Structures are given as C-alpha cells and as structure tokens.
C-alpha cells in the first residue's frame, strides 16, 4: 500500500508522527491503535488528566479525543489543551458515539478541528487524521520560516524582538538579571572581498554554530540580528555568567581557525562582543539594553576587536 505523502514527509526528516488516542474504553483505543500503528507512534490515555499530561509532555501531532468519559469529559480536556501554550496548536479531533448536531457544534466551540462518530470507518478516520496532520505540518513549516534565519538556522530578528519583550517583562516581574550580548564579525567586508560572498555565507554559518554551542541554557535565545551581527539574550543571567559565555564564544570561534588573511586582528576570523546586563525597573526599557550592548560593542571595536566590553 502506498504510504500517505505527509507520512513520507515525516519519514524523510527521520521522524514518526505521534498520535494521542484518548478514550475511557480500552476496546476503542485498541481499534484506533490498529488503524494507526503502522505509520504513527500511538500514545494512549483512558482519562482526561492523563491525556493533558501526555499532551504537554510528548506534544503529539494529532489528538483523537472521546467526549463521554468519567471525570473530566472531552470538552473540558479540549478547552484545557487550547488554553495551554504547549498544546494549543495541536489539532484535536473528537471521536464520539453522540450524533446530535449540538454535541458536534459544542465540540467545535471548545476548539476541536474535526468530529468523527462511532462506530467509525477506519478509512475515513485515517483520511481525516492525515488531512489535519498535513495542515499541522504546513503550519509548523510556516511558523519556522517566519522565525528562523534561513542562512544560519538561528532565530531571526523578528523572533529576537519578541523574546526581548517577553524576557524584559519576565525579569522585571521576577526582579532578575537579564543579559544581552551583541556580536559583530571583524573586518567581514574584507573577508567577502577576499574570499567571495559564498565563502562569506559559509563563514557566517560556522560562526553561528560556534555561538549556539557556547550558550548553555535552553532559555537563552541566539539570533542573527542582521548581516554579520548576532545577539544572545540570556534571562536570569548576571554579569559574571554573561562574560563567561562571551569568553566561550571567543574561544570557540578561535578554535574554528577560519583563515582571514586580510584581517588586522590576526590571520583568522574573530568577533567583537558588547554586553549589557541589568535587572529591569520601571524607569528603563528594553531598547536601552540594546543601545548599551551596542555601545559596549563599539568600544570593543575601538579597542582593536576580538575582545569583550560591558
């Protein structure tokens, strides 16, 4: 049998789509498991609480959800999933023995994307799941394109601006320190002039990888800020931690030993770094954090480059 194109897409990326089946009757779960086990990793839950917990933990690609269950019913589960950031983008399809149209309408109101009645026809359930999996994949792809820099795979400026705003307010509320590193490749115009633009692009990719590997916490956001400039935003990080990270970046970029024979610094690719680190208060704003990091970067350039200032 020819495997669906969307499944092929997952497999090409070395992934298997994940389906969460929620039903209080094990016999129903077994029937759906039979339909999907060949193409999907199938997770199972027999009550609402377990469904929500598994959805948050495993982020399935599609959820098949029963409505009538003891305890939390399907509507409540669907509503909770829709109000939880980690799960709100997962398509939920109701599978129920109820056939009344107001039951179906209520299902859509709580945020379901589709509705299937029991007893189900395996071909139809499968076709519907594939449709929603395709839509989910396309949505994920679009979101990724909107937030990730195509050349380096780091986040782009748009994602950075969003993260700066969120983390500024988080650190203001929690009264914790927020650190920002601004980085700029030294004499990069000469690099392009000497080695060509394609080599320049390749160099930026390697520098970006080195930056990413120098940053240790999952909450840290590295982005390509523009051209040959990068930024790292590090919530809950003080001046000592920020400087240590900046030093790791210089060390890791030096370790690449990328030849740059027209640089005035030395014969390999280097970057200059500016740091600003503050505990936000109401009298300041996020733009000042950027400005200060930029001034510190300018000082590093003035001091001969390949160095850190804060």
Residues designated as active site: 228
List residues near Mg ion by CB under 5 A: 24, 66, 68-69, 184-185, 188
We find the least distance from the C-beta atom of residue 189 to Mg ion, in angstroms, to be 7
By the rule CB under 6 A, 301 interacts with ligand GH3: yes
Joined together, the tokens standing for residue 62 give: 């599609």
- CA dihedral for 224, 228, 233, 234, sign (positive or negative): positive
Q: Which does 250 bind (CB under 5 to 8 A by kind): ligand GH3, Mg ion, none?
A: none
By the rule CB under 6 A, 188 interacts with ligand GH3: yes
Q: Which residues have a Cβ under 8 Å from the Cβ of 124 and sit 6 or more positions away? A: 116
Helices (H), the chain: 5-12, 26-36, 48-58, 74-82, 101-109, 122-147, 157-174, 188-195, 197-214, 239-256, 286-302
Among 177, 310, 151, residue whose Cα is nearest residue 230? 151
Interacting residue with ligand GH3 among 10, 187, 225, 230 (CB under 6 A)? 187
Q: Which does 68 bind (CB under 5 to 8 A by kind): Mg ion, ligand GH3, none?
A: Mg ion
We find the least distance from the C-beta atom of residue 205 to ligand GH3, in angstroms, to be 10
By the rule CB under 6 A, 227 interacts with ligand GH3: yes
Distance separating alpha carbons of residues 95 and 116, to the nearest angstrom: 5
Interacting residue with ligand GH3 among 66, 149, 186, 220 (CB under 6 A)? 186
DSSP class of 259: B
Interacting residue with ligand GH3 among 228, 231, 246, 275 (CB under 6 A)? 228
Residues 274 and 250: beta-carbon distance below 8 Å: no
We find the least distance from the C-beta atom of residue 269 to ligand GH3, in angstroms, to be 10
Binding site for ligand GH3 (CB under 6 A): 151, 184-190, 192, 197, 200-201, 204, 227-228, 301, 305
């Amino acid at each position: 049998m020819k495997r669906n194109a969307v499944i092929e897409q997952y497999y090409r990326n070395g992934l298997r789509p994940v389906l969460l089946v929620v039903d209080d009757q094990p016999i129903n779960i077994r029937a759906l498991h039979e339909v999907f086990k060949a193409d999907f990793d199938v997770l199972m839950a027999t009550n609402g609480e377990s469904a929500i917990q598994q959805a948050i933990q495993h982020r399935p690609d599609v959820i098949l959800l029963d409505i009538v269950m003891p305890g939390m019913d399907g509507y409540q589960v669907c509503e909770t999933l829709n109000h939880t950031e980690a799960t709100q983008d997962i398509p939920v399809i109701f599978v129920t023995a109820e056939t009344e149209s107001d039951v179906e309408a209520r299902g859509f109101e709580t945020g379901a994307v589709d509705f299937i009645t029991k007893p189900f026809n395996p071909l139809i359930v499968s076709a519907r799941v594939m449709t929603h999996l395709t839509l989910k994949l396309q949505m994920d792809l679009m979101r990724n394109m909107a937030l990730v820099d195509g050349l380096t795979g780091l986040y782009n400026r748009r994602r950075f601006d969003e993260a700066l705003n969120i983390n500024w307010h988080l650190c203001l509320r929690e009264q914790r320190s927020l650190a920002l590193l601004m980085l700029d490749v030294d004499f990069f115009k000469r690099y392009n002039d000497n080695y060509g633009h394609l080599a320049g692009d390749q160099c930026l990719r390697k520098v970006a990888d080195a930056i990413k590997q120098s940053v240790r916490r999952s909450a840290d956001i590295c982005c390509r800020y523009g051209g040959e400039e990068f930024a790292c935003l590090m919530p809950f990080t003080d001046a000592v931690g920020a400087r240590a990270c900046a030093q790791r970046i210089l060390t890791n970029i030096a370790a690449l030993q990328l030849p740059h024979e027209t640089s005035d610094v030395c014969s390999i690719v280097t970057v200059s770094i500016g740091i600003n680190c503050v505990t936000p208060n109401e009298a300041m704003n996020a733009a000042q954090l950027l400005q200060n990091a930029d001034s510190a970067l300018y000082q590093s350039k003035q001091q001969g480059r390949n160095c850190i200032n804060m």
